Structure 1
Amino acid sequence: MCLYFVYNTTIKGYPSSKLAQSPAKTLSPLNVAMLHYRILPTTLDCVYCQKCAFTLSTTPLSRISSSTARPVSQLSDLLRVVLTWRFGGFYSDTDTVCIKDLSPLKNVVVTSHKRRNHISNGVFHFKHHHEFLTMAMSTMIRMYNPKHWGSMGPNTFSSCVQRSCNLRNLRYLFPENSSVPVTCGNVTILPEFYLLPYAWYEHRNILEPGKWDEFVKTHAKTFTIHVFGQVNKGMQVKIGSNSIYEGAARTFCPLLYIHASAKNSSF
């Protein structure tokens, strides 16, 4: 298995020249910790270039003009869907920690939070050319709103699940008090605790000291932890705090943990 780290040249804080000229040096912690990974650059020019290895010309999104102004988050929403549609595989945001073998999860999406009336696009798996992603690409065109960060992401995925399951409202997706995944056609919707045990508004729980042992006991079915780097920005993970994040990093990302904690009391 190979891990692909895909970046675009408009990532905040990383000028295109810095990443394009020396991606391996810029992302040096990955060099230390990972042997089976590839760093792939992409730009809007490459996405729309007919001569490039990757293009939108064979997808429904070819109807979106390359001159349309889009925030970086929406470009990311677009790329994750198109790349997974073309190649298949498991997508997750880079601020996700994997704590269990993901291979049992096939063609899955996950609810965003405990209310289960919204679908996340931050972590999912689909085989290549899957019908759900084809639907998602067509829906992106219809729902695109340059002022709304989620229009091509969670809102699109939520709309597609609603249509796949023939529901007027996603709150009817799971039977009351049920924790069993729901399958609609060829897509399975997982309850939040499988891949997103904490919603973005619960992000501080992930860094609270002393919670790791309790988490292990109560989350036996959890495969990944999303740490919400955007809202946790600036918060420090103290070495030895045994927080959920620190415990997960120490246990499941040992090489990166050693690199991050070397000569530091926090990371």
Structure 2
Amino acid sequence: MSGVDYLPLTTHESDSAIDLHPYPPRGRPYYRTYRWPQRWLRWPRPRSCFKYTAPAIIIIFVLSYLTWEPHIEISYYWRSWIRQEIEPLTPLRGCFKPDQASPLYNVTERLYGPKSTEIHAGLPMRLGLDCYDFAGTIRPLLSSESADRPRTNYHTYWRTDLAPFSERQEYTLKSFFATQNPHSRLIMWSNGDLSTNALLTSYVARYPEAFELRVANIRELSKGTPLENSLLLSSNDEKAWLDGDLIRLLVIWRDGGVWVDMDTLLTRDLSPLLEHEFVTQWDCYDKIYLALNGALMHFHQHSPYLCEALHLMATSTKPRPSSTDWGSILYLRLWRRLVAEGIPPFKILPFCFSDARACRLDNRLPDPFEPDPSDGHWTNGLTRAEDGGLDRKLAKVFAVHLHNQWEKSFPPGGWVERLLLHRYEKKLAKVPE
């Protein structure tokens, strides 16, 4: 065995068939590529996708807008809050029962007595200028009719710690004395003494029978109501929403009358509306939980509606700060309880009567804080000219609610200055001192 020579085992025919080089060869890059059998299976490049997709989306959006009229509103509410605060219908206190109703309030007459004016349209009136035209169907009272009515109290409120009372707030006073029935009286409530304010003292001197300053003592106002001695009486917030909503109910309960928020300009005598008790529609969008507003409202003295509202406040969850829990949401909850127990509810004043800014772009009042358009035309025939479309609509509605935009000024020569403020001045100049 030792003398035998062994050859290396190979499967090749010869040594020349053996590749002694490493694989892949040194110095040569090696790429392994995959080729798809069909080009359409490749992902499009992002640049190409944007180049063709974005214009297509824009075209579809424009065509859709020209074809359809979109109405989009997105709101979020906790389902637990809806189940706890909105859906349950707790019993009323019984303020409408004959043995509990105040002798100052005739339930039969107020709820079921004949009325000469209809203020509830029964439709949202979002088409064109329908709401303004409906407001125009309410005729002013004749002088003989208004003379027979007792003096009507109007109430408003100013928080002295939030801002000083100045010329901007004075516009509300001017609008009242320029538009309302001479048998009306404006009571201005505040959380501090305003008797030293020069502007206000001039009005007290000029209208001694028709203007009065009062400090709101909430605990005193709450006596005899379901909130008497309640810890909730100290509720307030930085926006004056909770205390403002509370005070409006307490002062009307005590004295009866009309509540007008300080950020409101009155445009027409409210007397034709006052045979009804009402709150106001918030806007024309039919918000399910925020449908009602108290910026302009009217109830008679010791109204059972207010008694039930105060009872609901006293027996419900503590209100959230800077919320409408004692405003819009409270009115909705009360309305549902009234109809559930077969009691005719209070009326709801259509949105444009006092808040015509809160609707679509094509039928709302123009922005009071923007200059008039250069061509003098707004939408739906509203024109800048005296006795133009806008002027005629303002003559039909009863107020313009400005929504607390105290930091903004009216543009010189704008429609608020021309069609409202200047006319207030002219009207008041004719009133004897």
Same fold (TM over 0.5): yes
Q: Residues 21, 148 of structure 1: CA spacing in aligned structure 2 closer, same or farther, 3 A cutoff?
A: closer
Letter in 2 for 1:208: E
| Structure of larger gyration radius | 2
Q: Which residue of 1 aligns with 2:226?
A: 60
SS of the residue corresponding to residue 146 of structure 1 reads coil
Matched-pair contact (CA < 8 Å) for 1:4–1:37:
no
Q: 1:163 to 1:215 in 2, by over 3 A?
A: farther
Say yes or no: does 1:198 pair with 2:367: no
Partners of 1:253 and 1:239 in 2: CA distance: 15
Distance, in Å, in 1 between the alignment partners of 2:391 and 2:371 is 14
Measure how far apart 1:41 and its partner are.
1.3
Residues 191 and 66 of structure 1: CA distance in aligned 2, closer, same or farther (over 3 Å)? closer
| Structure-to-structure mapping, 1:45-124, within 5 angstroms | 46-48=217-219, 54-62=220-228, 64-65=230-231, 68-71=234-237, 72-105=240-273, 106-117=276-287, 118-124=291-297
Residue in structure 1 matching 2:402, options 227, 230, 236: 227
CA distance in 1, matches of 2:318, 2:231: 12
Residue 13 (structure 1) aligns with: 163
The reply on whether 1:146 has 2:146 as its aligned counterpart is no
Q: Residues of 2 paired with 1:151 and 1:198: CA distance?
A: 23
The letter of the residue matching 1:237 is F
| SS in structure 1 at match of 2:228 | helix
Mapped to 2, the partners of 1:145 and 1:128 lie a distance apart of: 25
Aligned length: 227
Cα distance in 2, alignment partners of residues 246 and 165 from structure 1: 44
Deviations 1:197-223 (A, max 9, x none): 123998971233336643233455411
How many angstroms does 1:143 deviate by?
A: 4.6
Aligned pairs for 1:160-239 (under 5 A) are 160-166=334-340, 185=344, 187-199=346-358, 205-210=367-372, 213-218=388-393, 221-228=396-403, 230=404, 232-239=405-412
How far the C-alpha of 1:166 sits from its partner, in A, is 4.3
* Displacement of 1:128: 0.9
Quote the Cα distance in structure 1 between the aligned partners of 2:348 and 2:329.
15
- Cα distance in 2, alignment partners of residues 203 and 14 from structure 1: 29
For the 8 Å contact 1:203–1:227, the answer to whether it is kept is no
User: Residue 113 of structure 1: CA displacement?
Assistant: 0.4
- 1:250 aligned partner, one-letter code: H
Residue 248 of structure 1 and its aligned partner are, at CA, apart by 1.9
Shift of residue 256, structure 1, vs aligned partner? 7.8
* CA distance in structure 2 between the partners assigned to 1:226 and 1:21 by the alignment: 24
Query: TM-score, structure 1 length as denominator?
Result: 0.70
Which of 413, 422, 426 does residue 240 from structure 1 map onto? Answer: 413
Aligned AA for 2:369? L
Report what 1:262 is aligned to: none
Contact 1:3–1:38 (CA under 8 A) maintained in structure 2 = no
Please say if residues 4 and 38 of structure 1, whose CA atoms lie closer than 8 Å, have aligned partners that are also in contact. Answer: no
Q: Which runs of 5+ in 1 are unaligned?
A: 49-53, 168-183, 258-267
In the aligned structure 1, how far is the partner of 2:156 from the partner of 2:285?
31
Shift of the 128–221 alpha-carbon distance from structure 1 to 2, 3 Å rule, reads same
Task: Give the whole-Å Cα distance in 2 for the aligned partners of 1:112 and 1:157.
Answer: 11
CA separation of 1:222/1:255 partners in 2, compared to 1, >3 Å: closer, same or farther? closer
Shift of 1:80: 0.6
What's the TM-score once normalised by structure 2's chain length? Answer: 0.45
Tell me if structure 1 keeps the 8 A contact 2:279–2:297. yes
Structure richer in strand, relative to its length: 1
Q: Tell whether 2:307 aligns with 1:134.
A: yes
Percent identical: 19
Deviation at 1:74, TM superposition (A): 0.8
Structure 2: 5+ residue runs without aligned partners? 1-150, 166-190, 373-382
